[in-house]
Structure 1
Amino acid sequence: MSKNNDIVVELLICDGSGIKLPQHAQKTLSLAERQRLEAMAHPRQASLFLLGRFLLRHWLGRRLEQDPAGIDIRIDAGGKPAPADPDWHFSISHSGDWLALALARGAEIGLDLECRQLDPPRIQRLARRYFSRAEQHWLAQSPDPAQDFLRLWTVKEAVLKAEGGGIANNLQRVRWRPGDTRARLEHSTYRLYPFAPAPARLTLAVAGSPAGRPRLCRAEDLYAGLEITGPQPNLSINP
């Protein structure tokens, strides 16, 4: 892994319902990705999968100076996809029509995007099942439990995705105190970057101590041939 001051992280957040891909988009995917796409029964899920992998391959193609269709993306023993080049890492998440994609050099990353609007009874059920007693108490005292639940949930999922071990029965392993910029998973520390483009909430977790904030990108920055048909989030963070 690169030194911390060499860690480079880039982040895209977009509304997939307002983006039209070129007709040849599927040709950029690998055979395994096309087979996975064809097996998806839900049209929106399939659309976001195609958008995410298409943009990822073009993004990696620029960084690695390779043909996007020829980039080797492998699945590790824990089921986490990653480029064959060990210095590069990515994470993709989607919820509703929204898609988030992060790319990093020199550090493991994970992100989680949530657009769900949960009612109080469901929040309580999920909290009892997945959160510690202290976390449940914090939510019970919150003036906005719906938003704070998503804050906590996205932190935990993002860290577990970065670690690569999967989220099943693992959410309580992630330790985070509200307001802290870091979370811990056993002996590893992750820097957290929260974003809240309405109606979504997103957390990006980066292993180690990156020197700066992620660089935010637009979908058309990754592939100039996109047709933007609807409004996209503008977080107005980068100059």
Structure 2
Amino acid sequence: MTRWDRGDEMGSVRWAFRCGSWTPNRTEWLFASRCVQKEEKNRIGEFEFAKDAKSAMAGRLLLRRFVCERMGIPWSEVRLERTPRGKPYLASPPKASSDRAWSFNISHQGDYAVLAAEQGMQVGVDIMKNTMPGSKSVPDFFRIMTRQFTAYEWSVIQSAGSEHQQLAVFYRHWALKESFIKAIGTGLGFNLQRVEFHLSTEPLMQGQVLRQTKMHLDEEEEDWLFEESLLDADHHVAVALGPADTPGSSPPSSSRPPPSFTLLSFDDLITAASPLTEEDPAYWENFKSKAEAPQRRRERHAPT
């Protein structure tokens, strides 16, 4: 376990796992597949590419470790479900007052899977890798995405400097919007131009967490907190924290220092794991036959 900062005291958890450098052997992959619910195992097995299967598996293991370790539910009794819009939730959560109830969310993109959890608040997390947009030029890519941002946000993105810097600010805005959408569980039907972000004037740097960014919803500033950090030079993470979805809930407080992400190893992910199903040797053969990623997925780093 690499400790950028544990960040899991006072009802906060921030964990990351580097899927991009994970090359599971037969024993690891089969054990991991036995430690997730059967329907999730089957869903993961249907991915065409190993990169996506590894990210999805890591996400499920992060969730199960969190519920087991922080909510005190034995691994074998953890039952995770999805809302109609795909947000994971615990089917039978332990009883807790609204200010102590946990909310959690995961994201995986690029080389990482991440989990954020908080007591007494709504939480959403999104990670984005700063890459060139495949076969399209940056201006063409921006034109396709025009309707996802407000005029003010586009002015900030396109005044950032070089194409590399513009992409970094673009992905920063995108992660912020996605973290909010995931926190409220709205999904794809939400008009992203309803939310407008006003970024902190302080530069985002590795090893620190920014909390100064403000969000306007329908042109009104909202009492939400947004934590922004860099896992490395190419991966930006945004965590959205809002009042619990219960009457009388207080807005999130910025009085305590923001937690940083802790980088977990595979051994960390399975430290409390126990198998739920029998070993399935064909599952390894299925995984081994997958290409790592599609040929057309040109995840080129943006030139500096």
TM-score (norm 1): 0.80
Per the alignment, residue 170 of structure 2 pairs with 149
Per the alignment, residue 106 of structure 2 pairs with 92
Partners of 1:110 and 1:206 within 8 A in 2: yes
Q: Provide the alpha-carbon RMSD of the alignment.
A: 2.6
Distance 1:80 1:97, change over 3 A: same
Per the alignment, residue 107 of structure 1 pairs with 121
> CA deviation digits over 1:189-233, x for unaligned, max 9?
32111112221111111113145313532314554499xxxxxxx
1:56 maps to amino acid: L
* Number of matched pairs: 221
Between the aligned partners of 1:222 and 1:172, the Cα distance in structure 2 is: 37
Deviation at 1:168, TM superposition (A): 4.3
Larger Rg: 2
Per the alignment, residue 229 of structure 1 pairs with none
Q: Higher helix share goes to which structure?
A: 1
Q: Higher strand share goes to which structure?
A: 1
Partners of 2:130 and 2:167 within 8 A in 1: no
Equivalent residues in 2 for 1:83-232 (5 A)?
83-84=90-91, 85=93, 87-118=101-132, 119-143=137-161, 144-179=165-200, 180-185=212-217, 189-196=223-230, 197-207=232-242, 208-210=251-253, 211-212=255-256, 213-214=258-259, 216-220=261-265, 221-224=268-271
Can you give the 5+ residue segments of structure 1 that lack an aligned partner in the other structure? 1-5, 227-239
Between the aligned partners of 2:84 and 2:116, the Cα distance in structure 1 is: 21
Q: Secondary structure at the match of 1:108?
A: strand
Deviation at 1:8, TM superposition (A): 2.1
2:30 equivalent to 1:17: no
Can you give the 5+ residue segments of structure 2 that lack an aligned partner in the other structure? 1-8, 95-100, 201-211, 243-250, 274-304
The runs of at least 4 aligned residues of structure 1 exceeding 6 Å deviation read: none
2:65 maps to amino acid: H
Between the aligned partners of 1:159 and 1:7, the Cα distance in structure 2 is: 22
1:136 maps to amino acid: W
1:90 maps to amino acid: F
TM-score (norm 2): 0.65
What is the identity percentage for the equivalent residue pairs of Structure 1 and Structure 2? 24
